Structure 1
Amino acid sequence: MVKLNSILAHLAFAHLAVSIPTDYGTTTTSNKTLIGCLDAANVPLISASDADYAPAVMPFNLRLPFFPVVVVVPTTAEHVSSAVKCAGAFKTKVAARSGGHSYAAFGLGGADGSLMIDMKKFRDVIVDPNTFIATVGSGLRLGDVATRLYNDARRGLPHGTCPGVGIAGHALHGGFGYMSRMWGTTLDNIVEMEVVLANGDIVTASKSTNPDLYWALRGAGSSFGIVTNFKFTTYPAPGSGVRASWSWTLDDSASDTVEKKVKIFQALQDFSEESAPSNIVFGVFMTNGFIDVSCVYWGPRAEFDTLIAPLVASFPQDGLPTPTIADYPYIDLLVVLGGGEQLPQPENYTKHDTFFTKSIVAPTKLTTKSLTSFFTFLGERGVEPSLSWFVIADLYGGKYSNIAAQDPAGSSYAIRDSFFTFQLYSNIDGANPPVTAYPPWGFEYMNEMSRSITEPQPETKFQAYVNYVDPSLSPQEAHELYYGSNYQRLRELKGRYDPELLFWNPQAIGTS
């Protein structure tokens, strides 16, 4: 959810070269047949021989270049329907891309040879003046949605902080941000969708219309259809918010450093579990010798000062840092949380990095044993030349969180009982522009970092967050970690709505 400004800054690179396989430079007979089908239906497309193909297929994660057989750029739901029908006729897998921010490049198909449907032209935002339900095109990015809702109606929607993330993938697989403990996940606020099914039908999915499809889409959407627009519940935007942070720079070689880090995190866990109201959320950013506890409180500064005092008193007082605290108007605070990046986004995504990420969903507090193991690992193994890393822990739960308050049976989203969710992110240190090579040993290093948290706490059933997708997981591992006990029903519904597995990526429902 959160990236510090320094991390966000080095992710912003554009215009990198992509090496296209030579056999994609010309169109084979079978490809001509598929493209002929698309042309006959007047579907806008980019073929592999077109000059704009290379930038169109550049992934966010340069470690994972994949090459669709054709890129469809629809402007209507009928275009999407025709493209899906053509793909089905010629046995070509389909992947939809909303923003292009997939950690595993699943928007490109996660393998060569898919038909990619780029939804970037679906950019409408319409707020009903009576119900304040917002109709949002699936090609918009979070920054666009936030700006349009606020400018048009002074409304807000819970979502992540990075302005360039696409709304569709974000919402269909969860979506969490600094308003979520107050308003739920992005997914929880979907009231209706227009969706194209694997047979090309254009249908509505809501609680009362196609309820099984509605259940499946809200948690595993990329496996069940292509959403062309959403209808979201929106909320009156807060007038202002308070952002605060406490940053410790610690000597990892000192004997008491691990103990101090453990006490900092335990203090936050204890406060978050019983005392944190729904209008506050915390994020913890950790890297070599550094730990930062930050929060946003949607309310007046005076209320915040009173609320936060017990937490501050419970932190280790030796070396307690002076906090950075500031008030911001709502829309200005969204800019700050996005690393200072402007909220309105270009139509084409131009950020790239070379990275590998793990995630951990912790439904309960981390024990002293787990925290000690984790911070010991960071102290002993935190410096690995050529690889840079950070860990972010985001507060989901607690007694007053409105994420856990949602009906768990109401959607296929399986991690709403999370207490903290961790993102473990590694990339090539100092590469500017980013390179495509990631060190092979980095995968096991990040797995060891993950295990340093989970293995000392075997009594806890840890899961993972699909929006931080880990392509190194087998389908079976991914389905267990992302969907848990919901997977069997999802698989049955996949057989009903997409028996040929047309909507596919390496971890799609039905691949195990």
Structure 2
Amino acid sequence: MVNLNSFARTSLVAGIFTLFLIKDVATAQSTGTKLNSFQKCLVEAVNADQARVQFPNEPDYASKDVRPYNLNFQFTPAAIMYPSTSLEVAAIVSCASKNNVKVQARSGGHDMTNKALGHSDGNLVVDMKNFRKVEVKGTTGIATIGPGNTLKTLVEGLHTQGARYMPHGSSPSVGIGGHATVGGLGYHSRILGATLDVMTEAEIVIANGSIIRASKDKNSDLFWALRGAGASFGIVTEFKFQTSPEPKEVIDFTYTISSKDIATLTNSFKAYHKIISNKTLEPKLSTVCVVQKNAVIISGSFFGSEAEYSNFDLGRQIPSITNKTVTARLSWSAHMRNSFTFVDSVFPANVYFDAKDTAITYKQLPSNDTIDELFKHLQTGESGSDQWFALMDFYGGAVNQKSSDASAFPHRDVAYFFSVYAASKGETSQTIKSFVDRAILTIQGNQADKFLSYAGISNMRTNKPQQKYWGTNLPRLETLKARFDPSDLFSSPQGVKPA
């Protein structure tokens, strides 16, 4: 393979060589058919590097390049691009704009409806896997992060550069590019807020192909929109985040209640729910609850000393625990390994599944009667799935310390997000969808219109999705969309649309 860099000094030779490579790509990737003008533009955008532009007739295109996260939503993009620089991203975006092709960026591709594929055939996917920079300035703790990092590589990179951390989720394969621009919630959010709360700056390619910087002081309107609705406004090529020193000591815990008796499961959950619903609860405590058939699993972390946790001891306050594990004096790295392992063991990936969520604010907490009804449905309803679970991600703390219009992310009075996941061996059935929908509607007290949803857990059955995802921030987002992307180049059915 010829190294293109050796030709960079002489533009004439480089130009001739590029033409030969374009001819090679036409032969290898179009099986003898000439590339169209759009494809030629894409090839030129990545300096004619065959490995970084993939078209649909490439061998194993679907499994190697498209890689749908949820097999219910399978589309054929016009191309998958793998740029390495911001200039290449800008050139790719310009190609799409000139040819009226919709664009979506992909960081980890960890999306419930494969949003990064654009929700239809013929879209352009810009995969950011080559943007893996992790660099921390020791004096300020500001980290420069590439959007192609997964949460796993982010954690590892920050640890090796001064033992730093920042708030984010616990799924190792999630990409920081999508995570940071939709919200970014996890175990550490009660202390530090969402990922987008510690974002200080971003470099972004917008619809006209310009590369601009956005922060609170520069292009502040765009910076506001990026933090919560970023996929609708452009492709981030670099983030800057404020990081913090890793906690010196972490305690991880898991309490399991196993029973075929619905009342036993429900009473244990009610005790837990009462504790967690306290808005003044110690922010060092962070926890999630998983409900499965005949089981309630309460897990989480305490970011403090063993002595501090023993004074609180969540397990002592919950009845009918059948198994418990409490691991003290963990290092940050060990804690994150535990978190990643737990999430990988629970969440479906690259299978057929359905997922739906709702945000429960402190003013919307369900009554005990509603909890009874919810557990009856979960434990006795026809799920149509051998692998389902309901998840309560409890937040509060630092997440609640900002106003709902501080960024595009509106969930500032959230107590927890409630979601239901159900996997299947084939395309998701109507039985599964009805089971999921009924669970969500039950915890909402049959008043769906009064509840918001998290854009990071999209569902194509969500009614008025833009209003659900962004609430009262939607009108401002639509106005900004008209300004920065009037033709809706960065488009998906549930994304922000121009006013």
3-state SS in 2 of match to 1:198: coil
* Aligned match of 1:189: 198
Counterpart contact for 2:486–2:498, Cα < 8 Å: no
Residues 1:390 and 1:322: Cα distance change in structure 2 (over 3 Å):
closer
Alpha-carbon offset, residue 358 of structure 1: 0.6
Alpha-carbon offset, residue 460 of structure 1: 9.2
Aligned pair 1:368/2:363, yes or no?
A: no
Residues 1:449 and 1:370: Cα distance change in structure 2 (over 3 Å):
same
Deviations 1:72-108 (A, max 9, x none): 1100101110111110101000011001111111111
Counterpart contact for 2:294–2:379, Cα < 8 Å: yes
Larger relative contact order (Cα-Cα within 8 Å, sequence gap ≥ 6):
1
From 424, 431, 449, the equivalent of 2:420 is 424
* Aligned match of 1:488: 475
Between the aligned partners of 1:285 and 1:27, the Cα distance in structure 2 is 53
Between the aligned partners of 2:98 and 2:218, the Cα distance in structure 1 is 28
* Aligned match of 1:51: 59
The 4+ residue runs of structure 1 with deviation greater than 6 A are 24-29
Aligned identity (percent) is 31
TM-score, normalised via structure 1 length: 0.85
Aligned pair 1:315/2:318, yes or no?
A: yes
Q: Count residues in correspondence.
A: 460
Alpha-carbon offset, residue 155 of structure 1: 0.2
From 298, 304, 307, the equivalent of 2:309 is 304
Between the aligned partners of 1:472 and 1:25, the Cα distance in structure 2 is 37
3-state SS in 2 of match to 1:242: strand
Aligned pair 1:497/2:484, yes or no?
A: yes
* Aligned match of 1:170: 179
Counterpart contact for 1:389–1:424, Cα < 8 Å: yes
3-state SS in 2 of match to 1:273: coil
Between the aligned partners of 1:35 and 1:322, the Cα distance in structure 2 is 58
Counterpart contact for 2:384–2:432, Cα < 8 Å: no
Between the aligned partners of 1:452 and 1:244, the Cα distance in structure 2 is 29
Between the aligned partners of 2:369 and 2:342, the Cα distance in structure 1 is 37
Between the aligned partners of 1:449 and 1:259, the Cα distance in structure 2 is 15
Counterpart contact for 1:491–1:509, Cα < 8 Å: yes
Between the aligned partners of 1:35 and 1:268, the Cα distance in structure 2 is 57
User: Following superposition of structure 1 onto structure 2, how do residues 242-391 of structure 1 map, counting pairs within 5 Å?
Assistant: 242-252=251-261, 256-257=263-264, 259-261=266-268, 263-270=270-277, 272-274=278-280, 276-308=281-313, 311-316=314-319, 319-321=320-322, 323-327=324-328, 328-339=330-341, 352-364=350-362, 365-381=365-381, 384-391=383-390
Counterpart contact for 1:363–1:461, Cα < 8 Å: no
Residues 1:440 and 1:26: Cα distance change in structure 2 (over 3 Å):
farther
Structure with greater helix share of residues? 2
Aligned pair 1:454/2:454, yes or no?
A: no
Between the aligned partners of 1:56 and 1:460, the Cα distance in structure 2 is 38
Alpha-carbon offset, residue 508 of structure 1: 1.2
3-state SS in 2 of match to 1:468: coil
Structure 1 residue runs without a partner (length 5+): 1-23, 343-349, 429-434
User: Following superposition of structure 1 onto structure 2, how do residues 203-222 of structure 1 map, counting pairs within 5 Å?
Assistant: 203-222=212-231
Alpha-carbon offset, residue 304 of structure 1: 0.5
Between the aligned partners of 2:449 and 2:128, the Cα distance in structure 1 is 39
AA at the equivalent of 1:161: S
Counterpart contact for 1:267–1:315, Cα < 8 Å: no
TM-score, normalised via structure 2 length: 0.87
CA RMSD of aligned residues (A): 2.3
Between the aligned partners of 1:161 and 1:183, the Cα distance in structure 2 is 15
Alpha-carbon offset, residue 113 of structure 1: 0.5
Residues 1:235 and 1:460: Cα distance change in structure 2 (over 3 Å):
farther
Deviations 1:43-95 (A, max 9, x none): 54111222252310021111111111011110010111011111010100001
Counterpart contact for 2:102–2:489, Cα < 8 Å: yes
From 148, 166, 172, the equivalent of 2:157 is 148
Deviations 1:232-254 (A, max 9, x none): 000000122101122111224x6
Between the aligned partners of 2:296 and 2:498, the Cα distance in structure 1 is 39
